[in-house]
Amino acid sequence: MVLTPPETAAARLRAASPVIDALGDAWIVGGAVRDAMLGLPAGKDLDVVDPVDGVARARELHRLLGGVLTVHDRFGTATVTVDGWSVDVATARAERYPRPGALPEVSVPAPLTEDLVRRDFTVNAIALRPDGEVLAFPGALDDLLTRRLTVLHPSSFRDDPTRLYRLARYEARLGFGVDHETEGLAREAFAAGAPATAGAARIGNEVLLLLAEEPEVAIRGLELLRSLGADGLEVDRELLRRAGALLPDGLPHGPLLLAAVCGGVPDGWHVENPGPVLDAARDPAGLAAEMRAAVKPSDLHRVLRGRTAEAAALAGAHGAEPQARSWFDDIRHVKLEIRGEDLVAAGIPPGPEIGAKLEEALRKRLDEGISGRDAELAAALAHVPR
């Protein structure tokens, strides 16, 4: 395989994004450059480094292109969002880690070479100018060509243990190999408990990014993490694959994977919507047993009432696949045509009796196949709650 020449990569980025032509002598760095040189389609995120003043560059971009400018005063960085593009602009910086796992101390401006040296992997340490000029960490272009993930120095994972998880994400998503020495360093870092020094929230964010990848990619990345010695991840490929196959199209797989792999939301992780994760993690084997014990469709309906799709899928994978399928394909879509107000109109006083009668109509609909408003109403009215 060959790499896309830098001029061609820059030209493709220019064709994809209106931002590039407005960058002046700033550099594009990180994933956008890596992917452009691999010939992969451009995403909508750009990381830009200005040699002198990133915030001033961002203001200039905003003046030229419009969109929304957000200045992050604390970090001396800024983001411009325009035309669906999100452009993070920083001043070229040098970083020093006061202690392992801590956030780095930053000095700006620094030469671009210093800015490249502080990065995670050589393939992410390549800078490209809009005119096609390229500046790369030594060996970076060779690693990109041979599809290899290599850290820039031996203390990289100790300095920033989130990189252990980024390694897995890139390995799985890009299908890259891991450099032999880098793999050894990753094992050592896990064995030494490096992730604990970065704090749960930062590690959690990286794992969540991995889980948000395509399911196959996420599973592969999780397996790599396990094999390198990551703690707290239960990875049963077959179970994850079966559960994922049950999940209805269009639902993200992340919550299901998190429930299966971590058994819930680990302490200190920030999950925007934890409901489906917690529900799916609630004794899936027990739920599977209840689903298997359901004799009639209405039994299964009762067992899964109020439960999320994630819970049904994970329980399904724990040995209740036919039941989960029938619930997803059929049972969960069944809705009565009548409502409580129809029963009130028919003379039933508001109260718990209404619920019991509706329940009976639904049971007959599910188990006996009655259909239509009249049949439902007749079933409800004929029922005498005990």
CB of residue 116 vs ligand CTP: minimum separation in angstroms? 8
Cβ atoms of 148 and 181 closer than 8 Å: no
Per CB under 6 A, the list member of 50, 120, 159, 179 interacting with ligand CTP is 120
Listed ranges 138-146, 158-166, 268-276, 293-301: which one lies at the site for ligand CTP (CB under 6 A)? 158-166
Size, binding site for ligand CTP by CB under 6 A: 11
Listed ranges 131-139, 162-170, 189-197, 299-307: which one lies at the site for ligand CTP (CB under 6 A)? 162-170
Site string for ligand CTP, 312-331 (x = CB under 6 A): --------------------
CA distance 270 to 300: 33
Listed ranges 62-70, 118-126, 273-281, 371-379: which one lies at the site for ligand CTP (CB under 6 A)? 118-126
Q: Is 45 one of the binding residues for ligand CTP (CB under 6 A)?
A: yes
Site string for ligand CTP, 6-35 (x = CB under 6 A): ------------------------xx----
Three-state DSSP at 82 gives: strand
Q: Is 160 one of the binding residues for ligand CTP (CB under 6 A)?
A: yes
CB of residue 30 vs ligand CTP: minimum separation in angstroms? 3
CB nearer ligand CTP, residue 172 or residue 260: 172
Question: Containing H/E element for 72?
Answer: strand 68-72
CB nearer ligand CTP, residue 104 or residue 340: 104
CB nearer ligand CTP, residue 35 or residue 321: 35
Three-state DSSP at 68 gives: strand
End-to-end CA distance of the chain: 74
| Long-range contacts of 329-338, Cβ-Cβ distance < 8 Å, separation of 24 or more | 330/297, 331/297, 331/300, 331/301, 331/304, 331/366, 332/301, 332/304, 334/301, 334/362, 334/365, 334/366, 336/361, 336/362, 336/365, 336/376, 337/372, 337/373, 337/376, 338/373, 338/376, 338/377, 338/380
CA distance 45 to 332: 39
Residues that bind ligand CTP (CB under 6 A): 30-31, 45, 47, 119-120, 124, 160, 162-163, 166
